[in-house]
Structure 1
Amino acid sequence: MTIQNLYDLYTISSGIEINSKKVKNGSIFFSIRGKNFDGNQFAHEAISNGAIMSIVDNRKYSFTHKKILFVKDSLSILQKLALYHRIKLKNIPIIAITGSNGKTTTKELTTAILSKKYEIVHSTKNNLNNHIGIPLTILSMSKNTQISVIEIGASHENEVDNMCSIINPDYGYITNFGKSHLEGFKNMKGVIRGKLELYDFLRKNKKKVFVNGDDPIQLINSIGINRYIFSEKENSDVRIKYLWKKTYLESILCMNDMKIVSPLVGTYNLYNIASSITIGKYFKVPLIKIKKAVEEFIPKNHRSQILEKNHIKIIMDCYNANPSSMRESLTFFNNKLQGNKIAILGDMLELGVFSKNEHKEIILFLDKSNINKIFLIGEIFFNTNIKTSDKIVKFFNKNRFIQWINNKSFQTDYILIKGSRKNALESLIPFL
């Protein structure tokens, strides 16, 4: 079966699925392998659940069956099918967003703003931003889509470039360059090179890039690309002013003398908001509608969410964490909020040989901070040997923290909760 044949089948299917339990009648099931699983073993279950075809790459499961197609590499075929689909829908503009922190928030806010003008805005759902998720995202784009916003996650060099070859973006934006996935990128130079692959693609294909003019790395490396710059500087394409009021859990921006107040907390979110406003302005979304979209936008998935419990404001920023985002969150928490403050922090993962030192640096920052009490959770923090004041308490895991905290009450104004996704620190909320 050629890609054209498979694409013809895809066009009459109900969609693509890689989870046999989520298969809908008429869908095509792709058996994807991972380090600890083999989707091939669910090929027959997918057919039983209504799939019109299961694509496998393990001969053990390629029994003679008119609905089973054996290929050399299921993931490669999935990516080729996505590329074929993108070529068919080449007239739909796609904005690609990558970066170390803030990708999802920027993508969701940009989508909300564009939706004020366009009826059908396609975007990345959940965390489908890697080599498996991106082809699934492309294949979820209908021919009626007016504009698309796609998030690119990357943990090593060449990944952004590979994903751009499938997405073929018309526009791009890099949120920032931070200490994320250092295990894969090796060092900060690797992180920067990896993210700049988006610029390389846009430059080569004569596309446009949105640039934060206050970020020297973006500004320098975007020279020679068709670019649209936002900044506090006067000579920018879009001039945005950033405001902040202590004790207010909100972000304030001004554009053309119009004040826009966002419930997104943290000074680190100001650029996420500003870039989304800039993209909206470029696509001629009326400013009053941009303001409405920003002010209506409520973060989800434990990203900069604000909860109130027993008169304590809890900042849940625990979807993920790396040294850069952790430092940004803690700097905001330390400097911008007045009152009694508690921080509950989980291990930062995927740092490789940098892990010990990066956790040590965070502890040193915390020890000098004006945060009143700090609880560190996880094996890495626990085993970081460094002398600190009594305000820092370490726990080997969440269960030990829960046992300790049981029946204790806090008297504080604010609690910040942050850690890598595998920590799932949001599960602590009922115990606070």
Structure 2
Amino acid sequence: MEPLSLEKICDVLQGRLLHASISPKKIWIENIFTDSRRPISGGLFWALEGERWDGHQFLEEVQGMAKAAVVHRVPEGVSSELPLVLVRDTAYALGELASYYRSSFSLPLIAVTGSNGKTTTKEMIGYLLSRYASTLRSPQSFNNRIGVPLTLFSLERGTCFAVVELGASGMGEIAQLCRIARPTAGVLTSIAPAHLEGFRDLEGVMEAKGELLEYLEGAGGPIFINVDNIYCRRMASRYSGEVIGFGISREASIRASELSCSFDGIRFRCGSHVVHLPMLGRHNVYCALAAIAVAQYYGLPAEIWSSWEGFRPPGMRLQPVWRGGICFLNDAYNANPASMVAAIETLGRLPVVGRRVLVLGDMLELGEDTWHYHQELARWIDERFSAVFVVGRHMQAVVEELPSSVDWYSCGTVREVVELLEGFLRPQDVVLLKGSRRMKLEQILLDFAA
């Protein structure tokens, strides 16, 4: 972060300065932190509130480290030696200061959104651009009104590119994030049923993700879209700016062909180059194509965008984990209908010596059609799979529709799944772990005794 005076911060936030014993012109802030357990010496502590925590309760803990704190109330017992910037809403103020800070950098900022593949696409774009020039990318899945501002504060004078992920669970959230991040280009990975409790239906998902396109209409930036997704194509047809399509179909400007998948990863041809991705999942080809499209747009040479040996995928995305000769594909980060089908098909197409086994947890936040979306999964589970272990009440819809050739086991808890797997699995079996974040199926890997 480039230094900002506390005076400028107060001015941007229209905040009231309390407890300042020296002039705010002389207090320079070079870091912002929100976690009192990880204080940054000389930084500015931002007291945020959540459902289960309140940063204002930890002001005393940071007094010896922080130069100041941003608060929306003054708790009792706080030392008068800690300067406080009093604002109406600390979360909103974080976005306001990040927007101001972002405005001092005239660099390409690529925003990535969509129903699936956002984090992997963001990581891939960041990987390619960083091999060409200094690139900031949002860590992990910092994609909300807290994570995006915190990412932007890592911009520095030598930064040439920035890549941020924009997530949303309701209307207006992406528009707010665009106002903060000020993207110059956008990537639309896919539109599929996800977070429907906040969006009502697929039309709502399109409307929410379309807020990125609406912002870019005014900014005049290009969008990169998955042309194999009909909803992305519909959205792009209404966009008056530059549209660059990626995909496997012939309509794509940036196209993959001659695809092959194995435990070594994915190979495909893009133009005259053969690309090898060191990860599983045919669906991840779209993430790579989006990254290649962005790289080509900004003039990166082919020797960069065609070479992926050093790329490390985000964790819990079809991540192979071995336990006693048994391969677990840990895809437990999250799940919606499209990503669930993609993961099931990935295992179904892999060459396996032993048995293919599915461990599936509930898909959450799908609204009134939750049962239907779970039932539909059974269409993809056939004789390629030896057994299905399900956990969660919604997954009961799957077992009702399974073919008789597939054995199934219904479990009430993750611990129960582990106990059954320990007696069922044998070496050379391959097991897919897939469910929504709250199902925490990755716990199976910690508890399983091979």
TM-score (norm 2): 0.87
Q: Measure, in 2, the Cα distance between the counterparts of 1:262 and 1:114.
A: 16
Q: How far 1:338 moved relative to its partner?
A: 5.0
- The answer on whether the counterparts of 1:56 and 1:62 sit within 8 Å (CA) in structure 2 is no
The answer to whether 1:195 aligns with 2:209 is: yes
Paired residue type of 1:323: P
* Residue in 2 that maps onto 1:123: 137
Correspondent of 2:301 among 278, 286, 311: 286
Q: Measure, in 2, the Cα distance between the counterparts of 1:279 and 1:308.
A: 35
- The answer on whether the counterparts of 1:321 and 1:348 sit within 8 Å (CA) in structure 2 is yes
Q: 1:160 to 1:187 in 2, by over 3 A?
A: same
Paired residue type of 1:321: A
1:213-224 equivalent positions in 2, closer than 5 A: 213-223=227-237, 224=240
* Residue in 1 that maps onto 2:292: 277
Q: 1:13 to 1:242 in 2, by over 3 A?
A: farther
* Residue in 1 that maps onto 2:40: 24
Correspondent of 2:442 among 422, 426, 430: 426
Q: How far 1:420 moved relative to its partner?
A: 1.5
Q: 1:3 to 1:156 in 2, by over 3 A?
A: farther
Q: Measure, in 1, the Cα distance between the counterparts of 2:161 and 2:392.
A: 42
- Show structure 1 runs of 5+ residues with no match: none
Q: Measure, in 1, the Cα distance between the counterparts of 2:38 and 2:320.
A: 32
Q: 1:421 to 1:225 in 2, by over 3 A?
A: same
Between 1:322-331 and 1:21-30, the stretch displaced more is: 322-331
* Residue in 2 that maps onto 1:152: 166
* Residue in 1 that maps onto 2:193: 179
* Residue in 1 that maps onto 2:57: 41
- The answer on whether the counterparts of 1:240 and 1:274 sit within 8 Å (CA) in structure 2 is yes
- Show CA shifts across 1:53-79 (max 9, x none): 121213445857242232211111111
- Show CA shifts across 1:380-415 (max 9, x none): 335878365461111111122223344554255321
- Show structure 2 runs of 5+ residues with no match: 1-5, 13-23
Q: 1:6 to 1:314 in 2, by over 3 A?
A: farther
* Residue in 2 that maps onto 1:302: 316
Q: How far 1:221 moved relative to its partner?
A: 2.1
The answer to whether 1:207 aligns with 2:217 is: no
More helix by share: 1
- The answer on whether the counterparts of 1:43 and 1:56 sit within 8 Å (CA) in structure 2 is no
Q: 1:180 to 1:283 in 2, by over 3 A?
A: same
Q: Measure, in 1, the Cα distance between the counterparts of 2:260 and 2:27.
A: 50
Paired residue type of 1:424: K
* Residue in 1 that maps onto 2:15: none
- The answer on whether the counterparts of 1:170 and 1:208 sit within 8 Å (CA) in structure 2 is yes
The answer to whether 1:100 aligns with 2:115 is: yes
Q: Give the number of aligned pairs.
A: 426
Q: 1:9 to 1:301 in 2, by over 3 A?
A: farther
Between 1:269-278 and 1:352-361, the stretch displaced more is: 352-361
SS at match of 1:376: strand
Q: How far 1:28 moved relative to its partner?
A: 0.7
The answer to whether 1:352 aligns with 2:367 is: yes
Q: Measure, in 2, the Cα distance between the counterparts of 1:222 and 1:29.
A: 41
TM-score (norm 1): 0.90
Q: 1:236 to 1:404 in 2, by over 3 A?
A: closer
Paired residue type of 2:172: N
Q: How far 1:197 moved relative to its partner?
A: 1.2
SS at match of 2:348: helix
Q: Measure, in 1, the Cα distance between the counterparts of 2:384 and 2:250.
A: 36
* Residue in 2 that maps onto 1:142: 156
